[in-house]
Structure 1
Amino acid sequence: MTLAPLGVAANEEAVAVDAPLLLPQMPLHDPWIVADPQSRTYLLFTRNEQAMTGDARLGIMAYRSRDLKHWSKPAVVFALPQGTWARDGAWAPEVHRWKGRWYLFATFHNEGAALPSTGARQLYRRSTVLAVADSPAGPFRLEKGGKPVAPAERMTLDGTLYVSPAGKPWMVYAHEWLQTTVGTMEAVPLDDTLAAAGPPVELFRADRADWVKGQKQPDGSTVYVTDGPELYRTRAGTLLMIWSSYGQGGYVQAQARSKSGTIEGPWEQLGPLVMRDSGHGMLFRTFEGKLMMVLHRPFNNALGKLYEMRDAGDRLEVVREATELDLEAYPTHPCAVSRGPTGTPIPGC
């Protein structure tokens, strides 16, 4: 059966005037897409790159599209204010609606802010912080002075919002392998202001998934990575988590399932969804109601890749690669387009 293309504009020449970029021209890591119903626009969030925006500030930028194929030049939607504890990062931006407002979750770090270390690896502060706006397009304002949501003494990243059927918010995040050797997924309960309301709960360890391959380190240790969690409740009420780690041949996009249907689990691993050095995916629905996943591929110098998905009730399934939208943005490298829209070199090229 031939499936119809998803949302490609009829008049591509007219669209390309305001949205001149295609996914193979858009270097991005940890992509997050919001389908904004008010503007009928897709917003794609990633770390700000000066080559793309002309803005050197540390923060988050967003591309816009009406058809998931043609994208505008990006604009900065959040810049970390001077004087906060963080100095680098702006990883894994996520934008969630909560209590009538839009909250940006993003991971920052500061290698100069040391944490106690018991081994050879140097530990430092890394955490997810929050910013808020009245619109998913921003501009976002830093919340709580940049105070980390998870305990500040833990090296954490990739915080995502999960809301239980009873309306209770949690932040799920990866506890960094740098600190734990075996990375874990954890969840911290939140109050209505999205501040921590209790101690974190460990959900699972990376080495419990049989497809995960440990990564040898210069000091001789073997570490196991957890990365990029997102929660999804299926049409049958099953609670799933998509997440990433390293498997045979590189980065892997996988899924896990809560046996209890609650965030506390226990969690069972369902295996890979996408391999080919691909991961840190997220799920969204098009304005036509189709379930989609966007991820980055390959891990280094990453580009966006789109998949049409199926909610199978007890798991997610990949239907197909949406190559009419991403133009099969692999293994094409952004360095094929050596300069960004601002005329400055693309990082790494």
Structure 2
Amino acid sequence: MILSIIKRGVLLCSLAFPLSGSMFAQNVAQTLKTDIPLDSIRLSDPFILADRPTQTYYMTGTGGKLWKSKDLKKWTGPYTIAQTDPKSWMGPTPMIWAAELHAYKGKYYYFATFTNKAIKLGEGLERRACHVLVSDRPEGPYVPMKDSTYLPEDKLTLDATLWTDTDGKPYMIFCHEWLQNGDGTVEKIAMKPDFSGTTGPSKLLFLASDSPWSREKNKDGTDRPNKVTDGPWLFRTKTGKLGMLWTSWIYDVYTQGVAYSESGKLDGPWVQEKEPVSPPNFGHGMLFRTFKGKLLMSIHSHRSVNGRTVRVPRLFEVDDSGDKLAIGKQILDAR
């Protein structure tokens, strides 16, 4: 996510803020806002966990903070919930990107991309990698587990998410950064049963260049597929079709596409849809069901405020009754 922002020259400070990774972050007094409308929150990569035990919606994303709501209309936050280890590779104040919350077998897991600007890889690229924290509660605090590294430390990875495949095993799905490999990837790697680390090598699912809809310009002015892979999110339709939302660019427009697995399994093969699945200027979407059973997509769009580009969470209705997702209207009252 972060490097696709850099590629477009958008000011990072207008999109997200560094989050202190100190183990003592929870002891700092937090200034909270209440009754904030969704479209008044500035947030990239909005992820919403609908937690039935607490009948509460929990939203996080880039910046790593947490917002709470009972009705998806009015939100309270931001709460600091991540407690990383300042002695780890992340350092004392890592930046946090594209955080997600996943409930799994009685625990809550915080999947996120952490960046340590003090560590450089290759051609001056800041070290960033996907990592997982754990908590007994959806609101945290989320703390480190056993393994200090989930993916190879010389590999720039981002936007991890969780999927349990037909073999019953959980997998981390993530992107390998295009600035390092020249053609962004989406890959899978097996998780340990307790999510304390990963096991075995990762496997390529597809490349950015597989996309028929994303575009950028070659030096000679001709078109080519865009290099960026961003924000994978797995889903299964009511007919059993396995699909994956993911985001790239059409020139300078952030755009979301979708791919479907022909085998119904993570290994694919993955076939890309010819056209984007969402309107232009929307991306990094995920799906969740409201407590009344309505399927929604949480996604962000760009907006100019006083000459600065900001990202704003949005909600869309979604129909998954067929083999392919159908994105409906944008909604303000999601109840």
TM-score, normalised by the number of residues in structure 1: 0.78
**Residue identity matched to 2:131:** V
C-alpha change, 1:178 and 1:305, in structure 2 (3 Å) is same
C-alpha change, 1:248 and 1:192, in structure 2 (3 Å) is same
Query: 2:154, 2:106 → 1: CA distance?
Result: 31
Residue aligning to 1:177:
178
Please state how far the C-alpha of 1:215 moved relative to its aligned partner: 6.4
Q: How does 1:32-111 map to 2 (within 5 A)?
A: 32-48=47-63, 60-86=64-90, 87-111=93-117
Which range moves more in the overlay, 205-214 or 281-290?
Answer: 205-214
C-alpha change, 1:216 and 1:297, in structure 2 (3 Å) is farther
Contact 2:246 2:257 in 1 (8 A): yes
Query: 1:43, 1:215 → 2: CA distance?
Result: 39
Please state how far the C-alpha of 1:193 moved relative to its aligned partner: 2.5
Query: 1:97, 1:70 → 2: CA distance?
Result: 23
Q: Output one character per residue of 1:166-224: Cα deviation in whole Å (capped at 9) or x when no partner.
A: 3201111011011011111111122203222211111111111111113679xxxx861
Query: 1:71, 1:45 → 2: CA distance?
Result: 12
Query: 2:331, 2:235 → 1: CA distance?
Result: 21
Query: 2:310, 2:149 → 1: CA distance?
Result: 28
Query: 1:216, 1:106 → 2: CA distance?
Result: 32
Matched residue SS, 2:287: strand
Residue aligning to 1:188:
189
**Residue identity matched to 1:25:** S
C-alpha change, 1:256 and 1:153, in structure 2 (3 Å) is same
Contact 2:72 2:333 in 1 (8 A): no
- Stretches of structure 2 that go unaligned for 5 or more consecutive residues are 1-32, 304-308
Contact 2:73 2:332 in 1 (8 A): no
Residue 129 of structure 1: which of 108, 128, 131 is its match?
Answer: 131
- Stretches of structure 1 that go unaligned for 5 or more consecutive residues are 1-17, 49-59, 327-349
Contact 1:133 1:141 in 2 (8 A): yes
Query: 2:265, 2:280 → 1: CA distance?
Result: 31
Contact 2:217 2:251 in 1 (8 A): no
Please state how far the C-alpha of 1:124 moved relative to its aligned partner: 3.6
TM-score, normalised by the number of residues in structure 2: 0.81
Query: 1:124, 1:67 → 2: CA distance?
Result: 39
Matched residue SS, 2:39: helix
By percentage of residues, which structure has more strand?
2
Residue aligning to 2:214:
212
C-alpha change, 1:47 and 1:81, in structure 2 (3 Å) is farther
Contact 1:215 1:224 in 2 (8 A): no
Query: 1:173, 1:29 → 2: CA distance?
Result: 17
Q: Output one character per residue of 1:106-161: Cα deviation in whole Å (capped at 9) or x when no partner.
A: 1012233232x3xxx4334210111101111111112236x232222211000111
Q: Output one character per residue of 1:225-245: Cα deviation in whole Å (capped at 9) or x when no partner.
A: 000001101111111001100
Residue aligning to 2:323:
314
Contact 1:92 1:106 in 2 (8 A): yes
Query: 2:293, 2:230 → 1: CA distance?
Result: 27
Query: 1:256, 1:295 → 2: CA distance?
Result: 17
Matched, 1:199 2:201: yes
Query: 1:242, 1:267 → 2: CA distance?
Result: 12
Residue 248 of structure 2: which of 224, 245, 249 is its match?
Answer: 245
Query: 1:96, 1:324 → 2: CA distance?
Result: 24
RMSD: 2.1
**Residue identity matched to 2:103:** R
Query: 1:33, 1:151 → 2: CA distance?
Result: 28
**Residue identity matched to 2:176:** H
Residue aligning to 2:294:
290
Matched residue SS, 1:154: coil
C-alpha change, 1:215 and 1:292, in structure 2 (3 Å) is farther
Runs of 4+ aligned structure 1 residues displaced above 4 Å come to none
Residue aligning to 2:311:
302
Give aligned-pair identity as a percent. 37
Contact 1:19 1:65 in 2 (8 A): no
Residue aligning to 1:261:
264
Contact 1:232 1:241 in 2 (8 A): yes
Please state how far the C-alpha of 1:163 moved relative to its aligned partner: 0.5
